[in-house]
A and B are shown apart, each in its own frame.
Chain A
Amino acid sequence: MRKIVVAGYGPAAHRLVEALLERDFDGTITVIGEEPRPAYDRVALTSYLDGVSAEELSYPVPPGVVTRLNSRVTGIDRRARRVTVEGGEPEPYDVLVLATGSRPFVPPVPGAGHAHVYRTIDDLDAIRAAAEGATDGVVVGGGLLGLEAADALRGLGLRTHIVEMSPWLMPRQVDEGGGAVLKGHIEALGLSVHAGSGVQEIVTDGRGKVTGLRTPDGTLVEAQIVVFSAGVRPRDELARECGLAVGERGGVVVDSAMRTSDPHIYAVGECALHDGMVYGLAGPCFTMAEVAAERITGGGAAFGGADLSTKLKLLGVEVAQFGAMEGALDVTYMDPVGGVYKKLFISDDATTLLGGICVGDASPYGTLRSYVGKPLPAPPADLLFAGGGVQLDLPDDAQVCSCNNVSAGAVRAAIHDQGCADVPGVKACTRAGTTCGSCVPMLKQLLEKAGVDTGKGLCEHFAHSRAELFDIVRVRGIRTFSQLIAEHGEGRGCDVCKPAVASILASLHNGHVLEGENAALQDTNDHFLANIQKNGTYSVVPRIPGGEITPGKLIVIGEVARDFGLYTKITGGQRIDLFGARVDQLPEIWRRLVDAGFESGHAYGKALRTVKSCVGSAWCRYGVQDSVGMAIALELRYRGLRSPHKLKSAVSGCARECAEARSKDFGVIATEQGWNLYVGGNGGFKPRHADLLAADLTGEELIRTIDRFLMFYIRTADRLQRTSAWLESLDGGLGYLRSVIMDDSLGICADLDAHMERHVATYADEWRATLEDPDKLGRFVSFVNAPGVPDPSIVFATERDQIKPVVMS
């Protein structure tokens, strides 16, 4: 039986192993990797800082494959066909594959030993630890990976600087004009860019703590963290030492079969040098792995180089480059105000597309990339102006996914022959879109052209789902709707996206709903902090936590209703609704309530409504816990929490369930030992009984679990999706939910906890705050030009001794 040994366990090694197994290779495979974990998706490395766990990033180890982790290969004995492994047994091989990747280049400047690099999960752990207590970070290198590292530092809350040797950022992908536009975008985000500069030394204090970076002109950039991202070098040391051919500037020389100068040794991925080129992108590395696997199993595939086109979104800015970066003719579209730069390179006879650059709007990329070397599909100006708006039918041989070398034809076949009806389906069938994700819009286009509906965008102004917008707002630190729509949307918004974004901003920042620009985003209920009725009047529902109320307070509600002539009704949520108030009466009503120790409550707004309770152990002969006390505690904790849809809760004192807790978003039922927590219940349009999430919790555990449940829902649900529908759409369902919020499988629990703590700590009574602010109060009039005049269109009749609206039509 043949034995294959793979040195290095990165993405290329993983793909090689998969490809071997797909070809029914029947020998044994041993993979030896230096990192403490199996291969993971390095392209998505940065998401680790956003809370994606190492386990989620990791590729599963295919069955039957032997792995040796935490093990470094230290030498190759070509004669004995054996590799030596640090601190372990040597490993004999019939075929050896080098997949050792590359290492970040750290220039030998004084103090370099104190700097970080950005390549592995361990590197990120070290950066995250160093960011504690730091205020400033600097990234050396303004290329693709440097900007990604800068984004990560910014995400960790640091003021971030970028030092780049070339006169502009991303010199390998964009020209000077594009670099200038890119710089504008990046500086607008608050990062400082030092282009045309470099590193003289890393400055430390007496005790070896980094205090800054000095550039060759003597400037000191103050920072406590320095990250080098100044290029990578192939890890060819094993090859070098055992006498295999290596390139002058590094890289293990391979032929188009991926064989090194020793026919028993192959090399794939970033360590390999093919035809004078080392490829630093995942796509070509995967193709090399496929070719090597084919060769090892007796096939005849050949590697013929690869397209280095890239499209990415860094710090919210789209950048793309395809084909050549020069040509006899070029056409440029530049909009310095909108921050858009697009350029096409064309042959001297103006017929053939040679390449292009896009900054700020990469919509032409998807289509045009496949026309490189072919006749222009439309006049260049049309292509640049209309961007992705020009709908071209991609030829079947056009490459759609460069990471995984998938053609438009292969995607069409997956749709038509294998019945793939959405993006996840196409991903599973073809691998397209599974690596960097930049081809996903093209996959959607192909699906749409095939007549499959894929829309998930909020409305015509945002192509993103609510959950995606939530992430954008959170990660980019966006504070206003204007900024969000300018950077990530189109037009000026509408009644769908504005309230949704207002709710996201409120969930994250908990400012007053009428503060600054927020006021204009709210629907009328949030704008006037009450519920609109059919005749344009409003209802007021004082908060009565848990449904418990003193006689004195009951009397106040009665007096307020009587004095303002309001219709009064007991609600289904254990409180009292007062109807028929004009906008100009609302502040006066609130003032009376506030003075008596009430706050008005949310019967509007996507927020917590009520936590109903039954009478519980204090009075009921069956009660086993204080359900009223718990309901009050929960209502006070979560009041004002803005969410994708309204939230309802209830607490029952025993299993008889008089509070109907299992019809609530989160319901609690007392047990002899503590509390059972049920989630995802709903009455309303599509009733659903809540599922038991956890049993016999202590009060403290109960609250922590609800905290996390609510925050996870708020971060990931769609607009107007109640917890019931959300839970049903969650991949992995209740089990997955449990793993995330109880076993912390995503490593985000600390973050969720902190987020809820912030909400609780910053909660403020929004009605009282309005009363205290003359500017906001001034808006509560029926007519701007006649503040004292009541709205004459509001007329009431009487029914069962109370008012009833009359609307004239």
Chain B
Amino acid sequence: MNWIGICGYDLLLPERGVCALVDGEQVALFRTYDGTVHALGNRDPFSGAYVLSRGIVGTRKGEATVASPLHKQVFSLVTGRCLDEPAVAIPVYRARVRDGAVQVSVSVPPSGARAQDRGLVSVGG
């Protein structure tokens, strides 16, 4: 599994998102109130604009969510599913925090067995 370092964990505001460019993919990263980091696709499938990282984070019936800033559809941060239109979903990536840095892996779909953590490669600049 290919972990890519993104930024210091401190750069993420609680309950807010940022966008990262990872292997040419736009990845929306969210830090929720409990400290968890979620990584999902940044593209809003309804409008085609790359804006989900700028949505409002919250919960619906206890499930962590983000609402698209354009037309307010709500997506689960855990499954990527659109809770307003269950047929629509966005990709979910793996994210973790190591030594104060946020790392993301976009290579393997996150479902399935826990992959082995390996060394980290740093990009950006």
Which residues of A are interface residues toward B (Cβ below 8 A)? 460-461, 482, 491-495, 497-499, 517, 519-524, 527-528, 532, 534-536, 778-779, 782-786, 788-789, 791, 793, 807-809
Contact = CB atoms under 8 A, between A and B. Distances in A.
Point out which of A498, A524, A528, A785 has the most chain B C-beta atoms below 10 A from its C-beta.
A785
Given A520-B15, A532-B70, A492 B124 contact: no
Nearest to A808: B48
A480 to B, nearest CB: 12
A788 to B, nearest CB: 8
Given A523-B69, A783-B19, A495 B55 contact: yes
Given A783-B20, A807-B47, A808-B48, A495 B72 contact: yes
Interface stretch (B5-13, B92-100, B110-118): B5-13
Contact of B58 (A498, A517, A808): A498
B79 interface: no
17 contacts: A461-B58, A492-B15, A492-B32, A492-B33, A492-B58, A492-B64, A493-B58, A494-B56, A499-B56, A784-B7, A784-B18, A784-B29, A785-B6, A785-B20, A785-B21, A786-B124, A807-B49
Interface of B: 6-7, 11, 13-16, 18-22, 26, 29, 32-33, 43, 47-51, 54-62, 64-65, 67, 69-70, 72, 74, 123-125
Nearest to A794: B50
A53 to B, nearest CB: 39
A495 B124 contact: no
A146 to B, nearest CB: 36
Majority SS at the chain A contact face? loop
B19 to A, nearest CB: 6
Nearest to A497: B58
A793 B69 contact: no
Contacts of B14: 517, 520
Contacts of A784: 6-7, 11, 18-20, 29
B82 to A, nearest CB: 14
B26 A793 contact: yes
Contacts of A535: 49
B56 to A, nearest CB: 4
Contact of B69 (A524, A778, A808): A524
Given A492-B33, A532-B70, 11 more contacts: A491-B60, A492-B32, A492-B64, A494-B59, A494-B60, A498-B56, A534-B49, A536-B49, A786-B124, A793-B26, A793-B43
B64 to A, nearest CB: 8
Contacts of A519: 13, 16
A783 B16 CA distance: 14
A535 B69 CA distance: 11
Contact of A536 (B51, B56, B124): B51
A-B residue pairs, 10 tightest by C-beta: A494-B58, A524-B69, A785-B124, A495-B67, A495-B56, A809-B48, A520-B15, A536-B49, A491-B59, A492-B59
Nearest to B61: A460
Given A520-B13, A791-B50, A783 B74 contact: no
B57 A520 contact: yes
Nearest to B71: A534
Contacts of A778: 11
A498 B55 CA distance: 12
Given A524-B69, A785-B6, A793 B56 contact: no
A783 B104 CA distance: 14
B16 A520 contact: yes
Contacts of B43: 793
A793 B49 contact: yes
Nearest to B56: A495
A235 to B, nearest CB: 54
Nearest to A499: B56
A491 B58 contact: yes
Contacts of A522: 56
B117 to A, nearest CB: 20
Contact of A782 (B19, B49, B125): B19
A500 to B, nearest CB: 11
Contacts of A807: 47-49
A786 B21 contact: yes
A535 B43 CA distance: 11
A344 B33 CA distance: 34
B58 A524 contact: no
A532 B19 contact: no
A789 B21 contact: yes
A498 B15 CA distance: 11
B59 A527 contact: no
A786 B58 CA distance: 27
Contacts of B58: 461, 491-495, 497-498
Contacts of A524: 51, 54-55, 69
Contacts of B11: 778, 784
Contacts of A482: 33
B65 A494 contact: yes
A495 B74 contact: yes
A513 to B, nearest CB: 13
A498 B33 CA distance: 14
Contacts of A499: 56
Contacts of A785: 6-7, 20-22, 123-124
A788 B60 CA distance: 35
B119 to A, nearest CB: 18
Contact of B59 (A493, A779, A783, A786): A493
A460 B59 CA distance: 9
Contacts of A786: 20-21, 124-125
B74 to A, nearest CB: 7
- The winner among B54, B58, B62 for most chain A CB atoms within 10 A is B58
Nearest to B57: A520
B51 to A, nearest CB: 4
A779 B20 CA distance: 12
B57 A783 contact: no
A638 B19 CA distance: 35
B19 A494 contact: no
A93 to B, nearest CB: 64
Contacts of A494: 56, 58-60, 65, 67, 74
A783 B21 contact: yes
Residue from A482, A495, A527, A532 having most chain B Cβ neighbours under 10 A: A495
A358 B55 CA distance: 39
Contacts of B48: 807-809
B58 to A, nearest CB: 4
B124 A491 contact: no
A804 to B, nearest CB: 15
A592 B83 CA distance: 42
A534 B68 CA distance: 12
Nearest to B6: A785
B98 to A, nearest CB: 15
Nearest to A809: B48
Contacts of B125: 786, 788
Which of A517, A791, A807, A808 has the most C-beta atoms of chain B within 10 angstroms of its own C-beta?
A: A791
Contacts of B74: 494-495
A126 B29 CA distance: 56
Contacts of A788: 125
B87 to A, nearest CB: 16
Contact of A523 (B20, B26, B49, B56): B56
